[in-house]
Each structure stands twice: as C-alpha cells, then as structure tokens.
Structure 1
Amino acid sequence: MAAINLHHLRLFRAVALDGTLTGAARVLNLSQSALSTQLRALEASLGHALFERRGRGLHLTEAGQIALDHAEAIFRTAEDLTATLHQTGTARRALRVGALATLSRNFQMQFLRPVLGRADVEVVVRSGSQVELLRGLETLALDVVLTNAPPVHDAHSPWMVTALAEQPVSLIGTAARVGRQPRTIRDLLASEPLILPAPDTALRAGFDALSARLGVIPAIAAEADDMAMLRLLARENAGLAVIPPIVVADELQSGLLREAARLEGMREYFLAVTRKRRFPNPLLAQVLEIAQTGDVGQLAAVSVDPS
C-alpha cells in the first residue's frame, strides 16, 4: 500500500469541511481540476472512495469520515509539535456519543467511565431528541446513541439496538411526604400529588397503564421530560416522583429523599443504538463489551449527580 501523502490529506480535509470542490479550491487557491486529481490520488492510495455526490454537494462516505477523524488527529499532533518541543502531542481517537436529553446522567457517566481520562481518547457527547440523534448516527457524526426508547426497526432499518441495563421505577419523595408507615400503591396514588414523566415517554405510558389497572385518577402536581427536573421537583417536596431510584441515588443515600413504593411491572430500559458500518469505531466495541458484561447494569452502586 502506498504511503499517504500528507499534502493530499490536507486538501481532503479542506474539501470535507467545505462540502464542495468549488469552495475548497477557492480557499486553497487551486483549480478544481487540480484539486479533484489530487483527491483521486488519495482515494487510490487508501483504496476507498472518500466522497459521494448528493446534488451539488460532496458528502463523506463511511471511509471518508474515518479518514477525516484520523486527519484531524494527525494535524492536531503536528500543531502540538510545532507549538512546543517539550510536550509531544498524542493522537487521540474520538468516541462520539449521542444521549437522549432526558436520559439519566448516572447511566451516561457509567457508560462512558471506561474511556474517561484515557490519554488516547477524546469523548464527544451530544444531547438532543431521538430524531436529531438518529440523524447524527445516520450521517456518521455519532458512533452510538444512548436512549431509553427503541427506534422503529424494520427490514430496511440500519439500526442495531443493544440492551445495556434496566432499572426499577419507584414513587420517591421527601421523608415528610412519604411518612413513617408503609402505604399501598393505590393509597399513595390516590392521596398524594404526583410528579410524572412527560406524556410522550415510555415511563409515562407505563404509569398511565398502572393507574388504569388500579382504577385511580392521580392528582398531577407537575410533569417533566427531564430526569434531573423530576429529581429537583421531588427534592422541593412538590409531590411523589415516578422515577428510577438510580436518578436520585445520592438523595436516597443521604436520607433527603425516600422510596415510598416500588412500582411493580414498571422498568426503565437503557439501550445503545448503533448503525451497521463497514468500519466500526473500535473504541465503541470496547465500551459496549464492558457494558454488556454487567458493569453498567450495576448502576445502583454508582453515586453520580444526575443534574
């Protein structure tokens, strides 16, 4: 295999960042034909097409995205070297993680812990809606999406869903609201104001089904689509929160909040969504392997502020 020409790599990065030959050629002060010729030479050297044309723009192929990641690492290292002679730059591989904005921060931190602090790894975390994150996964801007809502999957779907962990769901509130004497779930739901997940969440669907089975119409004190906000509302004594205990692990340990009852039949599922790739990120395989061996499943032993 021919050695990579760093000049070609620099030109490739310029085209990747601009998205067009015209714009990149203008910035580089080259003709489009000369730039195109040198890109083809790089593709021949690597043995893979780096771009595909969509309309008037150029979009990175999977091989192109990987090449861009390595190009960025190479040029960062070169910049480190020229900036200082006593501190050599180290190429870092990026792990790009998307996390549903409403997902437990405890779970996210535990998932990332195996690569946090590694000198050879740069962790990039983006939060957003399920639609936004899956779009990032589709365009290779993300390596994995952490969610509690499985995406729609059919024969044409590129998604691969890995179950990482599951957690119970409880009614949780201040000691004063929970009281000293145990009460039934029906009594708690009928007599206490409740802090509920937003209507469009899986947790809320499960809670509504439970309430219907028990024949209870709950008094809703607040709704939130964010676990951290559910936690804060419970701390403010706005009512009993329907929430996985791991989200408020610190408060339960300190006694600031108490578990009034476990909501049997309700579970919070944590999933990793990836897409089929010819060149998967090797870091992702390592993290998923650790998660599937059970380390992420031991969330109840972890105390991380979810705010």
Structure 2
Amino acid sequence: MSSRLNYHHLRYFREIATEGHLGRTAERLNVAQSALSIQLRQLEDRLGYALFDRAGRSLVLTEAGRIALDHADRIFTAGDELLATLHQNGDAKPPLRIGALSTLSRNFQLQFLKPLLAMDACKFSLKSGNTDVLLKDLETLALDVVLTTEVPQTGSQFQFAAQLIAEQPVYLHGRPDRLEYDTLAMLLAHEPLIVPTESVIRAEFENLIATLGIRPHILASVDDMAMVRLLAREGAGVAIAPTVVVADEIASGVLKTAAFDLGISEPFFAVTLPRKFPHPALMALLAGQGAVAERGGA
C-alpha cells in the first residue's frame, strides 16, 4: 500500500461531509454515486477507520471523520491561500503575521493594528519575542513584518527594510504629587525613577543625567513597558516613557506628565524583507507611513 495520502479522495470526502448525503454529492459533482462511494471506501481503507455512520439516508461523521474533516479543511484552505497569495487575488487570504518586540508598548501596538482592524475580513496573528528570534522568523517567511524600536544591524545575508512609522517624545510621568519640582534636575535627583533597561531610551537617559551631573535613584530597571506603566500607576516612582505607554492613566488623571523637555525620543520601525509576493494587507498598512530607511540585516 502506498504511504501517501490520495488528496483526490480527501477532496471527495470533504464534499460528502459538507453535503451529508452521498447521492446529493454525486449529483452536485456530476459523478456516479458508485464511483464516489468507491473513492470514499478507498480513503477509509487508507486511513484505517470508518469516516461516516449511517443515520437513515444521511451520513454522520464518526470521530475519525471529524478529525479528517478538520485536517481536510485546513489543507484545502491552505491551497486556496497559496493561489490567492501568488496571484494576489481571491478571497482566501492568509493571515497577516506580525512580530512585535516583547518590550514594545501595547498601546503602540494597538495603534498600529487599528487600520488593520478596519479592513474587512483581514485576519492576523501577533507574536512577541526578542529581536533575534523575530528577525529569524522574518528571514524564513514565518512572519510578514516585525515591529521594533531599532533598525536591524548589519551582518546578515538578508537585506531588511526598516520603515520609520512613528517617533514619539519621551517624558517623565508620575502621580501629580511626585512632579512638584521647579527644575528637571531637582526632580531627577529626588524622585525614585522607573526606567527601561537597555534601549534607545535608556542610552539617551544615561547621556542626560551625565550632562546634568546627577546621580539619580533608579528604583527599577524594567524591560516591559506594560510593567513601567503599572509601577507608575501604583505610585512607586516616576516613569520615563513615551506618552503612548501611559495614555489611559493620563486621560483618567491618575498620572500626569512633567513639564520638562528631556530631549529624548523613541522611534518605532516596521521591519520587512523585500518579497515578490508581499501580503496585500501589509502593503496597505504601511502605505504612506513615515520615511523608509534601508539597511543590511541582523
């Protein structure tokens, strides 16, 4: 017996399962009922299980039949998506696969996704991880785009494209009673600070305190912007972050932004790999957003 599955038999099985009746399926497909029955029996022999039970004149899927139908749906849907991707047409579009740096602001990610949510019938998946893992997935075409705060460094055989999609100023945010200082230097010298770990923001913050000649009390170094937001909201200290990170708390009055210009900003990039068959939703999502900077990859 051949070890391969006959997908012609599998497609006929899927049609029978959808119709629930052998005769009506044969009539719709314009094939003899006996021929269709033979195809089904050959598939059952190959799988080693009955796929249907009879209920009167109807066919009801067995447990093995339900499992087989689930796989058949995914197999033939993937085939439809393949054709739609290569020909850039059809309704069966694959989901847009997005990777996001795990430390990236959730509020920013939501802002990026909003136009996608407005697109009819556009599915997407969102994966978090570190830069190296996400860029490797981008190289193997497991992802369509990676959201990050830095342009990938040179050293890869792949030529990444990094599109600047936003650049947001960084401020000090905290409970209103923690921000009552006349100067930036006084605030930084007296309040416990919640700062990101190694990042563009952290590097520029270190330059700032060196320039001011301050040795601040760093309460927490946090690599997750969501945790930066929560600590500031609890009143643990003053957070150094883009406003988008604490937008909800500022709107509700729980947090306030200090009126000092830090001269720090955080860029947000959408990193892609030039492809002959890009996802059409991604093309629409990135169209007209910011300037494009291209550099060799990770």
| TM superposition outliers: structure 1 runs of 4+ over 4 Å | 68-71
CA distance in 1, matches of 2:248, 2:133: 31
Alignment-derived partner of residue 95 in structure 2: 94
SS in 1 for 2:264: strand
The CA deviation at 1:72 is 1.7
* 1:245-295 Cα deviation digits (max 9, x unpaired): 1111111112110112444320010100001212211211100015449xx
Alignment-derived partner of residue 186 in structure 2: 187
* 1:56-101 Cα deviation digits (max 9, x unpaired): xxxxxxxxxxxx99852639xxxxxxxxxxxxxx634311000001
CA distance in 2, matches of 1:172, 1:281: 38
1:74 to 80, 102, 119: 80
Alignment-derived partner of residue 61 in structure 2: none
The CA deviation at 1:153 is 3.0
SS in 2 for 1:121: coil
CA distance in 2, matches of 1:92, 1:70: 13
Alignment-derived partner of residue 226 in structure 2: 228
The change in CA–CA distance for 1:262 and 1:289 in structure 2 (over 3 A counts) is: farther
2:199 to 185, 189, 201: 201
| 1:1-307 aligned within 5 A | 7=7, 71-72=77-78, 74=80, 91-116=92-117, 118-153=119-154, 156-179=157-180, 182-198=181-197, 200-289=198-287, 291-292=289-290
User: How many percent of aligned residue pairs carry the same amino acid?
Assistant: 46
TM-score, normalization: structure 2?
Answer: 0.66
The change in CA–CA distance for 1:70 and 1:248 in structure 2 (over 3 A counts) is: farther
Equivalent pair of 2:208/2:262 in contact (CA under 8 Å): no
The CA deviation at 1:227 is 0.7
Equivalent pair of 1:143/1:274 in contact (CA under 8 Å): yes
CA distance in 2, matches of 1:104, 1:136: 21
CA distance in 2, matches of 1:171, 1:235: 13
Equivalent pair of 1:101/1:128 in contact (CA under 8 Å): yes
TM-score, normalization: structure 1?
Answer: 0.64
Equivalent pair of 2:164/2:289 in contact (CA under 8 Å): no
Q: Aligned letter for 1:72? A: A
SS in 2 for 1:162: strand
Task: After superposing the two structures, state which structure 1 stretch, 109-118 or 186-195, moved more.
Answer: 109-118
CA distance in 1, matches of 2:149, 2:121: 29
Equivalent pair of 1:73/1:92 in contact (CA under 8 Å): no
The CA deviation at 1:129 is 0.5
Equivalent pair of 1:91/1:120 in contact (CA under 8 Å): no
The change in CA–CA distance for 1:224 and 1:250 in structure 2 (over 3 A counts) is: same
* 1:32-79 Cα deviation digits (max 9, x unpaired): xxxxxxxxxxxxxxxxxxxxxxxxxxxxxxxxxxxx99852639xxxx
SS in 2 for 1:187: helix
The CA deviation at 1:156 is 4.3
The CA deviation at 1:113 is 1.2
The structure with more radius of gyration: 2
Equivalent pair of 1:111/1:291 in contact (CA under 8 Å): no
Q: Aligned letter for 2:257? A: E
The CA deviation at 1:235 is 0.8
CA distance in 2, matches of 1:104, 1:175: 22
CA distance in 2, matches of 1:267, 1:234: 19
Cα RMSD, aligned residues only: 2.8
Q: Aligned letter for 1:135? A: K
Equivalent pair of 2:171/2:257 in contact (CA under 8 Å): yes
Structure 1, unmatched stretches of 5+, are: 1-5, 12-27, 31-67, 76-89, 294-307
